[in-house]
């Protein structure tokens, strides 16, 4: 199956009318409460409708990978998943959330349209197989320690279940301690495997564990890196955003402030239009 057919399959599954091969995946890092989820989704939905961008709301129901054991991990699986369900129904949008174990795959699949494999877990064979068996779209984030060439084998693990609805997401590579760098060649390399490639514009500016057990970030680079990725051929953007990033309970230092989201999308859409 070639990339065009995979995109067709993904768009059909998500209920989008295919007008351009581009996905916008956006939302707060983690479900904090219903108010933040609704406010964020409502604003992104208005912007995505304005620019005719297929939009998938994303948010984690739990954050299993934290530098410190004292960091916020979530409000509880059941409560967070219920907020995802409510957000999905209220705004008529598909949703994405990540899983961390085979056990979670079936639970998340009852709610999510896209199941995400976190970067640090992208080589976990049983996790990838369990995700694939749900029949959902599977977004595999490229590990910070992985070469783009090796992502082919991770996709094969999902595809072995008969599920070819696969996305790759580039999110940067370790650049020494507490820093990441994006090699735009990764987008081109991973596209050759036949699956759409999304660019994570927010985790790519993260500075892991840089602030005494808490990750930092440089959000001023979200825009230039996102524009570079789209120019390099990225098939979509993954952006974490929040009304007040500095008050966010997870990854606030690298999230885009919600009131800056429309300006970024305006610039991104101009680039997309040049490609089509």
Query: How do residues 82-140 score in pLDDT, each as one tens digit?
Result: 999 999 999 999 999 999 999 999 999 999 999 999 999 999 999 999 999 999 999 99
The pLDDT of residue 5 is: 84
Task: Yes or no: say if 185 and 142 are a contact pair by the CB < 8 Å rule.
Answer: no
Q: Could you give the domains of the chain?
A: 3-275 (3.20.20.70)
What is the reported pTM? 0.94
How high is the pLDDT of residue 21?
A: 83
List the chain residues with pLDDT less than 50: none
Q: How does DSSP assign 186-255, residue by residue?
A: HHHHHHTTTS-EEEETTGGGEETTTTTSS-EE-GGGHHHHHHHHHHHT-SEEEEEEESSGGG-SSSGGGS
pLDDT at 71: 65
DSSP β-ladder status, 256-257 and 236-242: parallel
Mean pLDDT of the chain, nearest integer: 93
């Amino acid at each position: 199956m070639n990339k065009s057919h995979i995109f067709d399959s993904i768009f059909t599954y998500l209920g989008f009318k295919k007008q351009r091969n581009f996905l916008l995946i956006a939302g707060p890092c983690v479900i904090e409460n219903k108010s933040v989820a609704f406010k964020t989704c409502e604003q992104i939905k208005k912007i995505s409708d304005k620019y005719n961008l297929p939009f998938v709301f994303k948010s984690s129901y739990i954050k299993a990978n934290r530098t410190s054991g004292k960091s916020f991990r979530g409000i509880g699986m059941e409560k967070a998943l219920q907020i995802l369900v409510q957000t999905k129904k209220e705004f008529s949008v598909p949703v994405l959330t990540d899983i961390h174990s085979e056990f979670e795959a079936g639970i998340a699949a009852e709610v999510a349209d896209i199941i995400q494999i976190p970067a640090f877990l992208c080589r976990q064979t049983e996790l990838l197989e369990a995700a694939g068996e749900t029949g959902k779209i599977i977004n595999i984030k490229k590990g910070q320690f992985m070469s783009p060439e090796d992502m082919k084998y991770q996709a094969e693990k999902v595809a072995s279940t008969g599920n070819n609805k696969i996305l790759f997401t580039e999110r940067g590579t370790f650049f020494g301690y507490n820093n990441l760098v994006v090699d735009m060649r990764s987008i081109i390399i991973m596209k050759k495997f036949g699956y759409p490639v999304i660019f994570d514009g927010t985790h790519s500016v993260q500075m892991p564990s840089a602030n005494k057990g808490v990750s930092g970030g440089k959000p001023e680079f979200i825009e230039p890196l996102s524009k570079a990725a789209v120019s390099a051929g990225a098939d979509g953007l993954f952006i974490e955003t929040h009304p007040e990033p500095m008050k966010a309970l997870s990854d606030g230092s690298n999230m885009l402030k919600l009131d800056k989201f429309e300006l970024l999308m305006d610039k991104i859409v101009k680039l997309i239009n040049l490609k089509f």
